[in-house]
Structure 1
């Protein structure tokens, strides 16, 4: 085997390893299912079921974010206002919301 053939073989091998290493993480990504998913591990969900689960998860996350924003707005935070004291106002609203939540418990 000549030096040129050896180099070509090394390049091909390195290319293959690089391609496989980039595919493995993509295959290892989760499908967005949570630990409380009701589907069994032995039966894979259909695409429609996966889509419905993702939609429900997005809807739940959106509702959580909206509720948190409403709670902050009710405690004095104004997100639409162009305020130079932005971080401090947000932190003050968070403190008020947390204090109100602790007082109600």
Structure 2
């Protein structure tokens, strides 16, 4: 029972409410709007993923060389260990702050 109306909610009512809540909001676009990039091809997306993975792997190698060990599951000192290794390796802390 719905506490506000005293009526039972049906599945169709719930689905309709969800569909309305999840409906995208449309915005008017100016003809001169060129901020959207051209769609990437499959090969471009694959190259971008490969480049990002290589960058993250290189960063992890620098952190491990600076003394960080991600396999050492010590949750009590986790953030401080990582931050110390980042300072030592000269890697920016980015979104971890």
What is the aligned partner in structure 1 of residue 77 from structure 2?
85
Q: Distance in 1 between matches of 2:63 and 2:53?
A: 15
TM-score, normalised to structure 1's length? Answer: 0.50
1:29: Cα distance to partner? 7.2
In structure 1, list runs of 5 or more residues that go unmatched: 1-17, 34-49, 100-105
How many corresponding residue pairs? Answer: 62
Q: Distance in 1 between matches of 2:81 and 2:42?
A: 38
When residues 62 and 22 of structure 1 are mapped into structure 2, their CA distance, relative to the original with a 3 A threshold, is same
TM-score, normalised to structure 2's length? Answer: 0.54
What is the aligned partner in structure 1 of residue 88 from structure 2?
96
Cα RMSD (Å) of the superposition? 3.0
Is 1:55 matched with 2:57? no
Moved more, 51-60 or 77-86: 77-86
1:32–1:54 CA contact under 8 A, matched in 2: no
Structure having the higher Rg: 1
**Larger helix fraction of residues:** 1
1:22: Cα distance to partner? 1.6
In structure 2, list runs of 5 or more residues that go unmatched: 1-19, 28-34, 92-97
